[in-house]
Amino acid sequence: MIRTMGMAGLLVLAAARLALAAGDPVGDLYGEEGSAGFVEPKAWQEQTFHLPPYPDLESRELIEVDLALNHFPFSLFIDPASLAIGEDGVVRYTAILSSRSGAANVFYEGVRCSRGQYRRYAYGGADGFRMAGNSRWRYIRGSGAEPYLQVLLDHFLCPSPGPGRERVLLRRLRQPNPDNFMYGEEE
């Protein structure tokens, strides 16, 4: 009997190793396969997008996001009019990073929850948005990404509620304590 259980354990271990070897090393970080009915196909294709209107940096409609990051020198604002969840599963938005001196950095970017990646599509300037020259998908986890992206990924944007449900993300962004909101909201 001990020998039989040992063989069964080895078979389970071998099957697990094969599954890991065949699969994606990153995998489905946020369980989208059961969330909002979005399943990223093997041959994922990013949909086309259009730049939103440039935000009014003085607008009271901008959402200040409580990042709860020590020593982060910026305040983060999201333009609610720009927030969109695509059919491709990408959450796109305009982010404004404002320094204490009043300088503002404006970006139009997207987060791909299922891969833990972001892409900066455009930068803001005096004449509005200009397309980013080296726009590609980059992993958020790691030393290269700005810390606000990690907070957005972990506490506000992911798991994505699915296309057409932007109001769920808007509610999350307006929460005073990002650790207190519930995943799987129903609306």
Does a structural domain hold residue 142?
A: yes
CATH number at residue 150: 2.40.128
Does a structural domain hold residue 74?
A: yes
Structurally, how many domains does the chain consist of?
A: 1
Residue 125 C-alpha from the chain's centroid: 24
Confidence of residue 37 (pLDDT cuts 50, 70, 90): low
Kindly tell me if the per-residue pLDDT of 36 is higher than 80: no
Peptide bond into 159 cis (omega under 30): yes
**Six token digits for residue 23:** 């699969």
Does a structural domain hold residue 84?
A: yes
Does a structural domain hold residue 160?
A: yes
Range 116-126 average pLDDT: 94
Kindly tell me if the per-residue pLDDT of 129 is higher than 70: yes
The Cβ-side half-sphere exposure at 82, using a 13 Å CA radius, reads: 27
Range of the domain at 62: 56-187
Residues 68-114: pLDDT tens digits? 887 888 999 999 999 999 999 999 999 999 998 989 999 999 999 99
- Residue 72's pLDDT is 83
State what percent of residues in the chain have pLDDT above 90.
55
Could you tell me the sign of the dihedral formed by the alpha carbons of 110, 90, 150, 176, in that order?
positive
Does a structural domain hold residue 8?
A: no
Does a structural domain hold residue 141?
A: yes
The Cβ-side half-sphere exposure at 42, using a 13 Å CA radius, reads: 3
- Give the Cα separation of 78 and 95 in Å (integer): 5
- Residue 12's pLDDT is 40
Who has greater pLDDT, 119 or 73? 119
Does a structural domain hold residue 16?
A: no
**Of 9-13, 53-57, 80-84, which gets the smallest average pLDDT?**
9-13
Does a structural domain hold residue 14?
A: no
